[in-house]
């Protein structure tokens, strides 16, 4: 059974890596569909935690997600095969393109294809954001934080890593305050 699960992890993340354009954020919806809905490897709250951990650790979110999920399910080898699956398609495409990069750049239809892919990626990212928003516990505080973070990102006021770190810090502080209130109430 262990080998079958390792193969399933590899093939699942190979499919995710092969058919998702636009990087890790565009992959979030596909990872959720495969890991939560289709295969039931993790629950929706666990998926939210997975995304939070994958986003807060260095590296691409898709690789971090694959590594985390693979490790959670099958330890080191699960992490290895899930990660290999998600990066292999991009690696192969980049190696192939590197041989023909100059000819590839000059093709007009390639530029049109990338314009179309960019639009599709934007839709995938919006879809992933909406799915995450729907599954979050909503309060006025969290909604205000989402709006502030969105505006800061749109108007490029603060670099994205600082917004992410600030969100993590605010979340940690609010958790500690809520925990203290619960302890004081008991």
Task: Give per-residue pLDDT as tens, 97-125.
Answer: 788 777 776 788 877 887 888 888 778 77
Confidence of residue 1 (pLDDT cuts 50, 70, 90): very low
H helix intervals, the chain: 2-19, 24-32, 44-56, 61-99, 101-105, 108-135, 140-154, 160-185
Judgement on whether residues 111 and 142 belong to the same structural domain of the protein: no
Q: Are 23 and 62 in contact (CB under 8 A)?
A: yes
Range of the domain at 175: 138-186
Judgement on whether residues 73 and 145 belong to the same structural domain of the protein: no
Judgement on whether residues 124 and 155 belong to the same structural domain of the protein: no
Residue 41, pLDDT score = 95
Judgement on whether residues 114 and 147 belong to the same structural domain of the protein: no
Confidence of residue 47 (pLDDT cuts 50, 70, 90): very high
Backbone angles phi, psi at 32, to 5 degrees: -60, -45
Judgement on whether residues 157 and 85 belong to the same structural domain of the protein: no
Residue 52, pLDDT score = 87
């Amino acid at each position: 059974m262990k080998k079958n699960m390792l193969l399933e992890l590899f093939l699942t993340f190979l499919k995710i890596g092969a058919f998702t354009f636009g990087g890790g954020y565009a992959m979030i919806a596909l990872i959720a569909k495969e890991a939560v809905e289709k295969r039931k490897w993790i629950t929706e709250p666990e998926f939210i935690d997975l995304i939070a951990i994958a986003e807060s650790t260095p590296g691409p979110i898709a690789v971090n997600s694959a590594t985390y999920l693979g490790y959670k399910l099958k330890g080191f080898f699960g992490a290895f095969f899930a990660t290999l699956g998600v990066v292999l398609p991009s690696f192969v495409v980049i190696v192939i393109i590197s041989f023909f990069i100059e000819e590839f750049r000059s093709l007009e239809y390639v530029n049109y294809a990338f314009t179309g892919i960019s639009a599709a990626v934007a839709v995938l990212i919006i879809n992933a954001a909406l799915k995450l928003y729907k599954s979050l516990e909503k309060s006025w505080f969290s909604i205000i934080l989402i709006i502030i973070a969105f505006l800061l990102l749109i108007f490029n006021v603060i670099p994205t890593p600082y917004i992410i770190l600030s969100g993590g810090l605010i979340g940690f502080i609010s958790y500690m305050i809520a925990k203290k209130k619960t302890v004081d109430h008991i």
